[in-house]
Structure 1
Amino acid sequence: MRNIQVIDGADNAMYDIFAATEDEFALIFPAGQDVAFIDEVIARTPVAALDHAFAAIWQRRVAKAEAKGIHGILFYEMPQKKQYYPTRRDEAAINPDGTRLR
């Protein structure tokens, strides 16, 4: 299983972590990527497959204190964050001017 942290733009968002199987993770994160934006996921993946995957994922919340790492970050309603993740890799995050964030 791989852990996905969901970052939501809602004021009451909790930034929960959910466990996904390898196949579910691959639907959300293309090979080599660990950052995803829900609008892009929906645009490239059949709705039926996503509905099935997310129905299972949402049943597997992982308490943050029990998580053994975060393998992917899924953003909801935060398109402004895309500029920081042009490669969709967390470790390659950059500022809008191209300088590294870390």
Structure 2
Amino acid sequence: MKNIQVIDDARNCTYSLFAVSEKDFEALFPEKTDIAFPDEIAERLGERRGGALLAKLWTRPVDKKTAQGIHGTLFYGLDHKKKLYPTRREAGMDPRAFNAAQRRLMRI
């Protein structure tokens, strides 16, 4: 199982985690990406399949205190963040967005 953190534009956003199978994760985050936006999922997979995968996601919440990592981030209502993630990989962001320790960890 892979964990996905959901970040939305709500003032009360909880940054919740949800689990998906490896297969579903690969569909939602293709080519080793770790950032996704719902409209791009729907465009890539189609409304029906993309919607079904996202609907399944909501049924598998994960307690953050027991989570074994965060493997992807799904942004809702935050299209302005697309320009920050041009490669749809967190490591693809401008290196100045990370502190020195993070850059060493990520080798950027």
Q: TM (normalized to structure 2)?
A: 0.83
RMSD between superposed Cα atoms in Å = 1.3
1:16 maps to 2:12: no
Q: Write out aligned runs for 1:1-102 (5 A).
A: 1-94=1-94, 100-102=96-98
**Where does the alignment leave 5 or more consecutive residues of structure 2 unmatched?**
99-108
Deviation, 1:43, is 1.1
Distance in 2, matches of 1:5 and 1:76, equals: 11
**How many residues are aligned here?**
98
Return the offset for 1:93: 1.3
Query: AA paired with 1:14?
Result: T
Runs (4 or more) in structure 1 with deviation over 3 Å come to: none
Give the superposition deviation at 1:52.
2.6
Percent of aligned pairs sharing the same letter: 44
Give the gaps of 5 or more residues in structure 1: none
Q: Secondary structure at the match of 1:31?
A: helix
So what's the TM-score if we normalise by structure 1?
0.87
Counterparts of 1:79 and 1:48 in 2: how far apart (Å)? 21
Q: Describe the superposition over 1:76-99 as per-residue Cα deviations: whole angstroms up to 9, x where unpaired.
A: 0001111111111112212xxxx5
Higher helix content, 1 or 2: 2
1:51 Cα offset (Å): 2.9
